[in-house]
Structure 1
Amino acid sequence: MPQKDEMKTILKSQIFEGGTQTKQYSKNFTTQSIKEENTSIDQNGVTGQVHEVQVDGIILVNRNVTVKSPYEVEVSHDFPLFKLHFEIEGYNHYEPQDEHSMPVEIQSGQFNLFYFPRVNGVLHFTPPHRQTLEIQFTKAFIKKAIGQNFKEVLKEFGTAIESKRPFLFWNRSQKITPVLKRHIQDILDCQYADSLKKPFLEAKVLELLVMIFASWDQRSSRSTTTQLSPSTHEKLERVVQHISTHLNDPLSIASLAALVGMNASKLKESFKVTHGTTLFKYITEQRMKSAKSLIEERVCNITEASYRVGYKNPQHFTVAFKKIYGLLPSELIK
């Protein structure tokens, strides 16, 4: 059993020897000196290296692996997760198993930032190659970097942290810009001795977070929408959960509004505020994401996949799929 001043992560997958990997960290990732660990992976079609660095309050993970076939990793943390994830190359889809976290999809060349009070879910990965930079930090690090008034500075994000409500910066993960790429490369290429590497990495991570917070705040400040009440957030979460488990149903906006006791116009407006996209488009994207997984994993053929996600006409499904992914469903199985 870990001591109460430790934090634990449990990973379960066929890619780990023995099926399980357990990692323990000091509370809030505190450390007086830099810690580095290199791990080689060569198990069940996944080969490569994982380089992990811990500096005070931060964990940085650089993955560089080759993937022969799709695989999954069950993941759980006994501590709140604050994560800035850059999928430099590859595909990452997190599927929550409870209400304490949210679905996250990060495609090649994209990134996202999120906070989950607790993590219990499944990570899905696809071939052929993955390279990532994953930065984990804690509430203590945010307080140290931004100050005790972080709630006021970070607005919705700060409120979510204080209320222990899961928060995803962008429903659709953002493109890694050239400026971000340079900062990522600076981190990956750092060859300083430990005495200089520690402050360098701490400064680089803080700079990345400030850049992202500032960019996100500017977008938020341009919005004329008002803050949503906790009860509205709860209703929107119920809508998202219902959509995820009823993709083969009609899912009209009117029926979803009735389900949670909201006016249809209010539901559409509130959903766009919190998810950055329309409710109709979100439903379509979730259907396409599910169908893509069914087809890629050979669970069923294209026609059956279209029926499973609510399309009675496979041609209509094909048009919608190409609009989202830029390719035909049949190209997934060539």
Structure 2
Amino acid sequence: MEAQHQRTHDKGETQATHWHCNGILIGHAVSTFRELSSFGGSSQEDVVRFHFGLKGDYRFYYKQLDKHYDLVGGHHNIMYSRGFDITVYNKTLRLETFGIQFPRDLFVQFTQNASEPLQRFAADIMAGRHVMLSEQWGAIDTPIQQVIQQILHCRYAGDLRQLFLLSKSIELLVLCAESYQLANSRKDAFIRNKTDKEKIIAARDLVNERLHCPPNLSEIARAVGLNEYKLKRGFKETFHNTVFGYLTEQRLQLAHQYLRDTQKSAAEISAELGYATPQHFNNAFKKKFGVTPFLVRNNP
């Protein structure tokens, strides 16, 4: 079941979409503001919350943990508390977030025999402790971003839609847990201060905005104010991919979406996304997905 919601704040408004499946609540929200301000949120639902900050900078106070978090777009974490009260302070005029709420018992069922960090997290939940899965917020890398986009652009209906949303929610759980393990296994972080992290996020956003005419590494470095070495190292550390690898992934995923959801021909998509020739596009697409654009178009 899908539902649209609109909430008005003193300084702006939030447009949200919610999906329900098997007791799981999935939500996507875009908040726009006329000026920098704050707003609160609370809930008494006994659920485990996945939070994904997609775009925008903000900080929030989490009452049950008595902690402040200062975040830039492109982050995620999993949290649990009995009662949920937060105050959000936006630092940009547009925020985009995504979230999943698992019923407490269902989440424990999925994770109590999983990896060691998830087992500890599940044990804390069963003990009624207020916890975050990781003190370090994870970065939204390409696999996580792609699953979120697949949910937002789901074409299925009825029972098949329910099954799809359930499978993608579990996939995000696995990807998030893997992301935290990768971050914790890294001995020394290359990007250590918030300013540089914001610049790496800005580099990713610039790539996403220019998929059809991608900037080269020098252009990106100049635009965000980093030298090329720090850009390359920081991007790979944050998103587990090179700048060029990330660009290729995003272009091909967008091409796949166009083939499913629009009537654009493969040649039109190839030209729109900046490929030198349709054959170049066809070869890259087949290498990524194992099938040609023609087969995707004719087997929706």
TM-score normalized by structure 2? 0.55
Match of 1:198 among 158, 162, 173: 162
Contact 1:151 1:162 in 2 (8 A): no
Listed as ranges, the matches of 1:104-253 within 5 Å are: 104-146=69-111, 149=113, 154-217=118-181
Change (3 A) 1:109 1:180: same
Contact 1:45 1:69 in 2 (8 A): yes
Aligned length: 192
Superposition deviation, residue 93 in structure 1: 2.6
Q: Structure 1 stretches of 5 or more lacking a match?
A: 1-34, 225-275, 286-334
Residue equivalent to 1:82: 48
Residue equivalent to 2:290: none
Contact 1:69 1:126 in 2 (8 A): no
Residue equivalent to 1:95: 61
CA–CA distance in structure 2, aligned partners of residues 55 and 101 of structure 1: 31
The AA in structure 2 aligned to 1:167 is: V
Contact 2:7 2:14 in 1 (8 A): yes
Deviations 1:67-102, CA, capped at 9 Å, x for gaps: 22223233332233411111111134331335x564
CA–CA distance in structure 1, aligned partners of residues 124 and 35 of structure 2: 37
Change (3 A) 1:40 1:172: same
Change (3 A) 1:152 1:176: closer
Match of 2:36 among 46, 62, 70: 70
Contact 1:101 1:119 in 2 (8 A): no
The AA in structure 2 aligned to 1:86 is: F
Residue equivalent to 2:231: none
Superposition deviation, residue 150 in structure 1: 5.9
Contact 1:117 1:166 in 2 (8 A): yes
CA–CA distance in structure 1, aligned partners of residues 43 and 32 of structure 2: 25
| Partner secondary structure for residue 155 of structure 1 | helix
| Partner secondary structure for residue 112 of structure 1 | strand
Q: Percent identity?
A: 21
Contact 2:138 2:179 in 1 (8 A): no
Superposition deviation, residue 166 in structure 1: 2.0
The AA in structure 1 aligned to 2:153 is: D
Residue equivalent to 2:278: none
CA–CA distance in structure 1, aligned partners of residues 7 and 41 of structure 2: 17
| Partner secondary structure for residue 121 of structure 2 | helix
The AA in structure 2 aligned to 1:166 is: H
Deviations 1:92-128, CA, capped at 9 Å, x for gaps: 4331335x56433432122222222332332222332
Listed as ranges, the matches of 1:14-93 within 5 Å are: 35-93=1-59
CA–CA distance in structure 2, aligned partners of residues 67 and 206 of structure 1: 33
CA–CA distance in structure 1, aligned partners of residues 21 and 7 of structure 2: 24
> Which range moved further: 73-82 or 180-189?
73-82
Deviations 1:116-169, CA, capped at 9 Å, x for gaps: 2332332222332111111111222223434x6469672321232122222223
Superposition deviation, residue 188 in structure 1: 0.8
Contact 1:60 1:136 in 2 (8 A): yes
Superposition deviation, residue 215 in structure 1: 3.8
Contact 2:35 2:93 in 1 (8 A): yes
CA–CA distance in structure 2, aligned partners of residues 85 and 153 of structure 1: 18
Contact 1:105 1:172 in 2 (8 A): no
Change (3 A) 1:103 1:48: closer
Report the aligned-residue RMSD.
3.1
Change (3 A) 1:208 1:66: same
